[in-house]
Structure 1
Amino acid sequence: MKRPASPSIPYRRPRGAARVRTLCLAFLLAVAGVQFMVSPAHAVSAVSVSSTTVAAGETFTIDFTGTADTPRTGAGENFYAGSTDLGSLDAFTSIESCTGNTAPCTEVAEFGPRVPLGDLAGGESFAGSITLRVDPETPAGTFVLRYQLYANGGEATADGPTITVTNTPAEADLDVGLSAQPRVGILVPHLSYTLRTRDNGPDDASGVTVTATLPGGKTATGLSAGCTSAPGTVTCTYGSIAEGGEAVSTFRLPIGLLDIGPVVVTATRTASAPGDPNAANDTAGAACTVLSIALANCA
């Protein structure tokens, strides 16, 4: 009588045996002088920026360098805006200039600018820069500058520095000054006035108007270009005053036989753009005392 065959039991390798065998093999190869290195995946470019803070309307420059890991046809360095509510980089910047390019630098719609680099051989180095101007109306915000060497599929897009965009409303602080000096005597006695309007910045001013109030409905004479007089006022209008610049106007107030006593003239900025942040220096005055048509003094 035959004994029943014993059921076959499948062989199971103890857990971890494969890992142990792999580690042992690596150890033996290392002892034999064989080294293993993980090859980098398209780590072929790097960037730096001139500033990580830029005001709307101003520029910043991106410098880039790298080495092509493999031959690349029609290569180009691409730039993007990541992690931002400002939109794609081409939506709020424009190309000011670029270097290292083999063809005109271009904007890739809904992505960002590209610096063409031509054909690159494997191991060939490249370098260049691109200057971008942030649109003046760009709101304050931040974005991560992302970059990629494009060609034959391109390298993996990498994150560069975080750039902060600031947008402070334009302002022009106008400082009004007024001085007076008597010109007395028998022939055409008058008080001579000098009106100075200085733009302390930080921006240029336009549409500037300064109005001087005269005493007793008097009308001024000898007015500078851009100034007009009506009974009781002198109005001087300037097309623009550059930041740090100054506009100077003069006019005269005749002295009559009955003009004895104090004479006070006040000048005030009445219009300008952009807004003036400091109203304290928008008004200035000059006080004189007329003793006779031949004698007067001014403070």
Structure 2
Amino acid sequence: MKRFTSSPHRPRAARGPGRAWALFVATLLAVAGTQFTLAPAYAVSHISVSSTTVAAGETLTIDFNGTADTPRTGAGENFYAGSTNLGSLDAFTTIESCSGNTAPCAEVRGLGPRVPLGDLAGGEAFSGSITLRIAPETPAGTFVLRYQLYADGGEATANGPTITITNPPTEADLSIGLNAQPRVGILAPYLSYTLRTHNNGPDAATSATVTATLPAGRTATNLSPGCTAAPGTVTCVYADLADSSDAVSTFRIPIGVLDIGPVHVTAVRTSSSPSDPNAADDQDSATCTTLSIALAGCA
């Protein structure tokens, strides 16, 4: 009869926390003897801007710098407009100047401007700037300035600051001129005044009021349309005065038998719309001297 001999008893593996700890220690020992190669990071660039608010027609300067993490062939710093209804950055900007470039800076159609940086070695630093002019007709709005170190395997596009475009306030610089001449005669001698209001721009004046102050007790006659007289004043009102255009009004001051001496008249812009940026040319004056009903002179 055969006899069966049982195999030696083998203890069962430990269970619970002890086993987990043993696996953790074994993993650490394996990791300690292994070398890992990290995937190279994208090249990193940074930007700053001269201002986050710029008026249409004005300029915006962007400074940039960074370091190429690996060799980059045909690199360039690109800029884009994001989160906007203004269109691509090249649609409403033009390049004024740039620096740090190895070739002429240019607008990439449908995208935005680019500053060429040439070939960059791994670890090579780069820097530069670009100045853009916002087109004068650009409507008010905002865009996110996006940027990217462009090259083979270049940097992912990043979001920079939000740029706000404003429209400059409308202005109309009105200048006032007043000229006087004597018109003497036996029947109706008088002093003749020509009031000229010139719009120096840059925008049209939608309204303007000019008031001439006469010597006390004097009342003007023969006024141009749009002008009214009261004792001691003449008020002329104008509308829709285009840039570089003139509004001309005339009036008279009669000369009486006893009117001997100086006649001083001052004309002043008393109101206008839009605002007038230059108050220095808002008034003018003319002085006449009457010596008799038939003799007068003006300066």
TM over 0.5: yes
Q: Which moved more, 1:126-135 or 1:161-170?
A: 161-170
8 Å CA contact 2:222, 2:251 repeated in 1: no
Q: For residues 100-159 of structure 1, what are the alpha-carbon distances to aligned partners after superposition, in whole Å with 9 as ceiling and x for unaligned?
A: 111111111221110001111111111111111111221211111111111112111122
2:274 to 271, 277, 282: 277
Q: How many Å apart are 1:67 and its aligned residue?
A: 1.5
The number of equivalent residue pairs is: 250
C-alpha separation in 2, matches of 1:158 and 1:140: 24
Partner of 2:113: 113
**Residues 264, 67 of structure 1: CA spacing in aligned structure 2 closer, same or farther, 3 A cutoff?**
same
Amino acid at match of 1:215: T
Partner of 1:100: 100
8 Å CA contact 2:170, 2:274 repeated in 1: no
Q: For residues 163-199 of structure 1, what are the alpha-carbon distances to aligned partners after superposition, in whole Å with 9 as ceiling and x for unaligned?
A: 111124533142536476879999xx97475757576
**Residues 238, 80 of structure 1: CA spacing in aligned structure 2 closer, same or farther, 3 A cutoff?**
closer
Mind listing any 5+ residue stretches in structure 2 that lack a counterpart?
5-13, 213-219, 225-240
Q: How many Å apart are 1:291 and its aligned residue?
A: 8.8
Amino acid at match of 1:204: P
Partner of 1:71: 71
8 Å CA contact 2:61, 2:132 repeated in 1: yes
Q: How many Å apart are 1:90 and its aligned residue?
A: 1.2
Secondary structure at the aligned position of 1:91 is classed as helix
Q: For residues 47-100 of structure 1, what are the alpha-carbon distances to aligned partners after superposition, in whole Å with 9 as ceiling and x for unaligned?
A: 111111000111110011112111111100000112222222112211111111
Corresponding position: 1:240 with 2:244: yes
C-alpha separation in 1, matches of 2:221 and 2:26: 103
Amino acid at match of 1:153: G
Corresponding position: 1:85 with 2:89: no
Question: Aligned residues: percent identity?
Answer: 64
**Residues 278, 119 of structure 1: CA spacing in aligned structure 2 closer, same or farther, 3 A cutoff?**
closer
Instruction: Report which of the two structures shows the higher radius of gyration computed on alpha carbons.
Output: 2
Partner of 1:204: 202
Secondary structure at the aligned position of 1:90 is classed as helix
C-alpha separation in 2, matches of 1:59 and 1:18: 66
Q: How many Å apart are 1:42 and its aligned residue?
A: 2.1
8 Å CA contact 1:205, 1:240 repeated in 2: no
Amino acid at match of 1:125: A
Amino acid at match of 2:164: T
Amino acid at match of 1:73: T
Amino acid at match of 1:240: S
Secondary structure at the aligned position of 1:216 is classed as coil
Mind listing any 5+ residue stretches in structure 1 that lack a counterpart?
3-10, 30-35, 219-236, 242-246, 270-274
Give the root-mean-square deviation of aligned CA atoms: 5.5
Partner of 2:217: none
Q: How does 1:114-263 map to 2 (within 5 A)?
A: 114-168=114-168, 170-174=170-174, 176=176, 178=178, 191=191, 197=197, 204-205=202-203, 215-216=221-222, 240=244
C-alpha separation in 2, matches of 1:95 and 1:61: 10
Amino acid at match of 1:167: N
